[in-house]
Structure 1
């Protein structure tokens, strides 16, 4: 590029501005005021941009100044942004010089060619600005802005990651500009040489006048065809109908000039393929058959390009229509990803980038690019899932309607009609609407493939697994199953994929899914092994059903059948990927038809969605009572499951009522030693424990453990579960050594029987850690809790109640270890998540609130501690009662906080109540009673009540002497 370009004809003063701007060089590392220098340079370039009558140039250059001014306001991380600012300025200078050289050499009209370059620069700079702006806003105290942007731009984990990502994007952009310049030079030389040899042929139409975006794919194509000149190149663009494959290919051809002859071939059928090749032979006077054209192309050593458009039929072997030679260039557009076998390089053409989609909508709708219009357009393209054909159709309708802001309301009630309607005015020759383009593919499908697509339209559009169908194939009818008649349709579908022996045949299923993939109606993720359906195809394939209810019920049955075959740890893991599908199938309802409420409720329970589980099991219980009777064993079993869910919801009273009723009936019907009776007894013991009735819980748990040992043996999972429950009760009763001995045995056996990652093993690990913490073995507790938290995150996810519980327990141990900062950070995170997912009044939320208050107390943040403890005490009194251990614990903690705040009368009042009730409930020798005594004695000393204080001190020494 020439720095000293001649002045532009016509007296334009932009050349003078260029010289002035170049005097200010981008900053070096040694610059003392690097940001000030950057700003001076950027403003000079922007001022120069004012002199050219091209708004896109001016707009791009002005954003550079906005970026740098925003960096200037950032209080933190400013030095980290130095290299990014330098890169931004360097790439702007490259663009400025490139435009100037072309304008100087060819006049003002040449600058129009750089519109795409400037638009791409502007998009890139907008990305940079979106990253930098939250850093400035964050420094002003607006928390969480950066977190939202991180999710938007790629789930980056730190400011440094964001800055690095922007620098990489800038680097890519600079490389692309340089590569494009080289290609342009080479193409011009090639074009000049060809002009002397022969007249070239190009029967391709131009791309749509409103073509926008797709720069990444276009640059990839240019880079591929520019390498290894003289060798054969085959590039495949594949994806869903309506994704814009043909337009990308035409845009690439328009931008390229290295091809000697370009032939567009309609590859939709063998007839159109043959006709196109015959036409090539006739045009070049080399014969009149397809073979003549292929022979001529194979013998011709110029850089011809064959463009096979709409090669969608998977039954056609496209290789038969390729010239058999090692030179030439081929571009293919297809819905069939299977054509990748022919291609040297390929690109999936899917949804547009958000910024490009907005621009395309506004262009096609003939709307001004204002901020208000962009905001409306953003909502529209999001509803259209960024599919180009849908956006263009919407734009045409908006142009006819004359109002951008009315479209979404119309679309929400008339989706099928709007996506099926062909606009009268069109920007290209594409003959089909969004829905009709998929209908063409759908009509080619076999019956099993079409049925599978429509069944899956009732699931969530992502994460569809073969397993939900293969597991359903192992379903066996029971006395309480839905009837054979209700399961007839789903079973008929499943049996198509069974082999001669009745076992699931994965090959048959793959055959059917391959059909759907061949038309890009589904996509397969090789890493997860799951399928996805484009959301618009997902809704369309459901909308064309004549009997939606039949398919909906069949899919409910298939998923329910699948769940019923899963057990234990596998069911727990399966719940993570099944949950979105169950949400989609039920869509807020509480009745599954056919009746698989128990199975669906189990998934909600495993997933921590306890209220949904309770709703489903409540409906099931009502029907069972009506149909089977109140005393039927299945009815009683459902009551036990519902009691378990009530405990998770903190509804202990309702759980207790169910447990007492079930145990009484089980004893009458089955006897004292029946496994179901022992299960009901264990459930009631858990409810007693949750209600703080520790002695009643202990009595039941001792009986259950003894009988389980006799009936099932020492190593049976039910025996180990009973042992773990008794260990927890011992822990709260202050029998810490007995609790530790039992829990060590439980954990050791579960590791052998279930493995290290089983939920039961992790539960035992967490319980033992809690016992260690009370025994003062804090390092051992920490080690176990770190393992539990890591595995819960992997197995259950970050926001599952079990994961949050593990996080809270670790935070409590951190506090006891003096790691107060870590304890506070965990406590704040857990409390926020539990408030959102479980609610303000849930026992887990209140426990976390109390633990965070303890951390605040230790950090001497006494007012914050007091505020939390007052709330916790009030709610625990309301939900658990005055005598519950958790209520007394909070009362004692608040008394300590009052003492530290010098509110001694309030501390005394609470301390007296706590000591009195702990003596009554736990006895004089319990560790918690001794703690209450010491705290009250300290308060008496501070109040000057020396006699009362000394009396308590004497009593404490006597008790400690008895305990050894």
Structure 2
């Protein structure tokens, strides 16, 4: 291969690698790597034009075989919105697809969409991770080559490094409008600008559906338009769609554009300084086209555009509109309903009247033609994109289009659009399934809906009208499990209508139910207990003992008791719930949840025999389960049973069961997977209990090293391993090693646990013993005084763990401990 002038050896080597890859057959390349996971929601744009040199530079930067193990390569692409950053990533990913075992796309425009994207990756990998942090650890430890694309990193208040997997493995691309973010690149970043005139002209002609044979005769007109639009990619596509829709000819567009540009600056003078005035002018031309249409489609499209501006720019399914129609039809059959502020659950005829005209004016029968006509018009003008989702249809907007559609609303228009959109969502709750089954897809929409806050929303209309809508917003947040946002909305409601969750009025029961839900999830145990004791008392007088609503409330109360260090109060509740669920032919999932919570109570009160009987029952049930998730659920149940066997002194049973669990985990999970490491940790504990110290310590040291490489020092899994290792050193007479490790454990427990948790108290007890063994008796006394004080408050007088602590403290005080 001949060297190019000024190329340099490194660039030449990269070019040689690319040539070698190109000479390999596709089959050989697939055999070497091959793509298994393609989690990319977007498809390649048929209008994609140019950018060949950029794609080549990206290929030079990313060599999957090289970056998989030695260095994580990150590339940041910056530029104006609508310049084609996302399209470049799609093109690159498509070209390089077979070089990566996994290609994963995440929209990080806000925290909700980021969470959705990472959880979609977890689902595709059949991984049980529930948080972004856990999923990132999985990627960080994956030895196969992967590409992670973080799209729309445009919020300057977010720390996007939180979405970077740690370590040296993998490849990452991030797109952003913020030039400063180029600092995150480990290779030269790319600042995307407009296409050159030739490519801009070609893109415009393609978007306008001009036959290729006619391009030479229309090139000059196309060049004029491209110059007017500043070669902005999205503006060119928008102009092409306008022309393709028959709203004007190519030779007429420049004059049409200038007229709308003048009007834009007259009505919105602030746009003079906007970098987006060219593309916004093309949007305004499309608005004019919709207004001049004589059919209903134009007016309906304008109405839909306002509704879509209130929610997020991601996909909104058509099912929402049908379910809203069903709910509105049901309410319309009660025309004499009167709304009262106390009837906060009710939506009435006034709410029906605020639905979009294409729904509210035709409640007699469902007819989706008007929605289809309106969305087809918006799609034809490139203001929306159409998607197929799980047998349904949905629509999304480009972020730049969405921002423009929202910003152009006057205050009264914004109020009207919000009420329309909220009524749609509230009435659609007649089918709650779409909100729970597709909860990840709905999260960004619900977050956008409630973003104005309760104080502003209550100003839109009188409280009798607004309160039911805002309470329905709270239910939507609960349905999609956005509990922090739910708590914020509830706090706003309290302030506006002057109520408090600590002074309960029965007419606000739906609000207290929502407050109890958020309090439990957010570990506000005392408030949850206060609310749920009130709710269960009321429900016990109005519902039967077997009513699922009452049982659900009682289960929640038991959880709150357990979280608050009151497991003895939770146990009788849970036993009663379990006995009732066992008589049902349905609700078996709730039976298992209740049993697991009861096991937590038994563990917290050292009732190991009851815990074993319960877990053996759960294992039997899960062994007969056939759903896809059952194998992993079974392993987790067997793991828990093995831990209970250790606590009860049945070490041989624990070893047999945990060896089985670890063997399977080692064959199906990555080395750093927390379930695998936790099971190895417990197996090590079982070996140590069986005095097989060398085997146990060897496992613990390996587990600790893996966790130190992948976890924060406060991570409960790492701290648990260190606790086991520290207590093992203590049992082997290595007191100084035990002090070194257990001091770290106790420091971390102070950060991550409250003082009543058994694990924290056990670590303090172990450290006190180690201090005594090296002659630090005063330190031991200080720790044990705290341990005994807490255990006196939380354990029965005859509890053996409490009595052991008291005896050790007495011996320390008397100076008679023998080691």
Aligned alpha-carbon RMSD (Å): 6.1
**Which residue pairs with 1:874 in the alignment?**
750
- Consecutive unaligned residues of structure 1, counting only runs of 5 or more, are 1-24, 27-40, 47-60, 72-80, 91-118, 166-207, 219-234, 240-244, 255-261, 268-307, 319-331, 335-388, 398-411, 424-431, 791-805, 833-844, 951-964
Determine helix, strand or coil for the equivalent of 2:316.
Answer: coil
Partner residue, 2:298: 446
Contact 1:460 1:580 in 2 (8 A): yes
1:84 equivalenced with 2:17 (yes/no): yes
**Matching residue within 376, 382, 394 for 1:514:** 376
- Give me the whole-angstrom Cα distance separating, in 1, the residues matched to 2:666 and 2:612: 19
Aligned to 2:682: 816
* Partner-residue secondary structure (3-state), 2:597: helix
Per the alignment, residue 30 of structure 2 pairs with: none
Secondary structure of 1:692 counterpart: coil
Counterparts of 1:108-187 in structure 2 under 5 Å? 123=54, 126-127=57-58, 130-131=61-62, 146=74, 161=145
Structure 2: which 5+ residue stretches go unaligned? 24-49, 78-84, 94-102, 105-138, 150-193, 223-238, 263-267, 332-336, 338-342, 459-465, 646-653, 684-698, 730-736
Distance 1:893 1:697 in 2: 29
Q: Secondary structure at 1:560's aligned position in 2? A: helix
Change (3 A) 1:901 1:482: farther
1:431-830 map, 5 Å: 433-443=281-291, 444=293, 445-475=297-327, 476-477=330-331, 479=343, 480-490=345-355, 492-495=357-360, 502=365, 504-505=366-367, 509-526=371-388, 529-545=393-409, 547-563=413-429, 565-567=431-433, 571-587=435-451, 589-590=453-454, 594=466, 595-605=468-478, 609-620=482-493, 635-664=508-537, 666=539, 678-706=551-579, 721-743=593-615, 745=617, 769-775=639-645, 776=654, 777-779=657-659, 808=674, 811-817=677-683, 818=699, 825=706
Shift of 1:689: 0.7
- Encode CA deviations 1:696-755: one digit per residue, 9 max, x unaligned: 221333344456667x67866655554443233223333345334445656776999995
SS in 2 for 1:655: helix
2-structure distance, mates of 1:159, 1:125: 25
Could you report, residue by residue, the CA deviation over 1:305-339 in whole angstroms, capped at 9, with x for unpaired residues? xxx987846589x9xxxxxxxxxxxxx999xxxxx
CA-CA distance at 1:613 after TM superposition: 1.9
> Residue 450 of structure 2 contacts residue 473 of structure 2 at CA under 8 Å; is this kept in 1?
no
The alpha-carbon deviation at position 578 of structure 1 amounts to 0.7
| Number of residues of Structure 1 aligned to a counterpart in Structure 2 | 601
Report how far residue 531 of structure 1 moved: 1.9
CA distance in 2 between partners of 1:786 and 1:456 (Å): 47
Alpha carbons 2:768, 2:779 under 8 Å: kept: yes
Contact 1:264/1:309 (<8 A) preserved:
no
- Give the superposition deviation at 1:649: 1.9
Change over 3 Å in CA distance of 1:685–1:210 after alignment to 2: closer
CA–CA distance in 1 between the matches of 2:597 and 2:764?
26
1:238 aligns with 2:86: no
Higher relative CO (Cα under 8 Å, sequence separation at least 6) belongs to 2
CA distance in structure 2 between the aligned counterparts of 1:439 and 1:628, rounded to whole angstroms: 47
Q: 2:270 — aligned with what?
A: 414
- Per the alignment, residue 187 of structure 2 pairs with none
Q: Is the 8 A contact 1:472 1:561 kept in 2?
A: yes
Q: Partners in 1 of 2:272 and 2:319 — Cα distance?
A: 32
Distance 1:413 1:869 in 2: 61
Cα contact 1:896–1:907 (8 A) shared by 2? yes
Preserved CA contact (<8 Å) 1:773 1:813:
no
Compared CA separation, residues 631 and 915, structure 1 to 2 (3 A): closer
Supply the distance in 1 between the matched residues of 2:800 and 2:542 (Cα, whole angstroms): 42
Rounded to whole Å, the distance in 2 between the matches of 1:649 and 1:828 is 29
Does the 8 A contact of 1:598 with 1:616 survive in 2? no
Cα pair distance change 1:558/1:855, threshold 3 Å: farther
Name the CA shift for 1:620/1:828 in 2 (closer, same or farther; >3 Å): farther
Q: 2:323·2:428 contact (CA, 8 Å) conserved in 1?
A: yes
Q: SS at the partner of 2:453? A: coil
State how far apart, in whole Å, the 1-side matches of 2:782 and 2:771 are: 10
* Cα 1:896–1:788 shift into 2, 3 Å: farther
Q: Do 1:914 and 1:932's aligned partners in 2 also have CA atoms closer than 8 Å?
A: yes
Is contact 2:566-2:794 (8 Å) kept?
Answer: no
**In structure 2, distance between residues paired with 1:929 and 1:630:** 37
Q: CA deviation at 1:511?
A: 3.9
Secondary structure at 1:446 match in 2 = helix
Q: Kindly tell me: are residues 527 and 552 of structure 1, through their superposed partners in 2, closer, same or farther at Cα, counting changes over 3 Å?
A: closer
- Deviations for 1:531-582, whole angstroms, at most 9, x for unmatched residues? 2212232233344445221012211221233245314xx5433220011112
Q: Secondary structure at the match of 2:438?
A: helix
CA distance in 1, matches of 2:250, 2:354: 38
Measure how far apart 1:461 and its partner are: 1.3
Looking at structure 2, the residues matched to 784 and 484 of structure 1 have their Cα atoms a distance apart, in angstroms, of 59
Q: Aligned equivalents of 2:633 and 2:515: distance in 1?
A: 21
1:811 and 1:859, CA in 2 relative to 1: closer, same or farther beyond 3 A?
Answer: farther
How much does 1:523 deviate?
A: 1.1
Provide the rounded CA distance (Å) in 2 between the counterparts of 1:623 and 1:752: 52
Could you tell me whether the CA contact under 8 Å between 1:828 and 1:852 is conserved in 2? no
Q: What residue in structure 1 maps to residue 134 of structure 2?
A: none
Describe the superposition over 1:59-93 as per-residue Cα deviations: whole angstroms up to 9, x where unpaired. xx4xx55646xx8xxxxxxxxx6952776999xxx
Q: Find the residue that maps to 2:355 and give its secondary structure.
A: helix
What is the CA–CA distance in structure 2 between the aligned matches of 1:750 and 1:509, rounded to whole Å?
46
* Alpha-carbon displacement from aligned partner over 1:236-268 (angstroms, at most 9, x marks no partner): 8238xxxxx88x979x967xxxxxxx578999x
Structure 2 residue aligned with 1:382:
none
Equivalent pair of 2:310/2:421 in contact (CA under 8 Å): yes
CA positional deviation for 1:210: 4.8
Q: How far, CA to CA, are the matches of 1:607 and 1:826 in structure 2? A: 32
Aligned to 2:197: 211
How far the C-alpha of 1:635 sits from its partner, in A, is 2.9
User: 1:653 deviation in Å?
Assistant: 2.6
8 A contact 1:659–1:684 mirrored in 2: yes
CA 652–671 in structure 1, closer or farther in 2 if over 3 Å, else same: same
The DSSP-based 3-state class of the residue aligned with 1:524 is strand
The structure-2 alpha-carbon separation of the partners of 1:627 and 1:434, relative to structure 1 and needing over 3 Å to count, comes to same
> Retained in 2: the 8 A contact 1:460–1:584?
yes
1:462–1:681 distance in 2 versus 1, CA, 3 Å: closer
- TM-score using structure 2 length: 0.57
What are the superposed Cα offsets for residues 784-816 of structure 1, whole Å, 9 maximum, x if unpaired? 9999999xxxxxxxxxxxxxxx97555422433
Task: Tell me which residue corresponds to 1:850.
Answer: 719
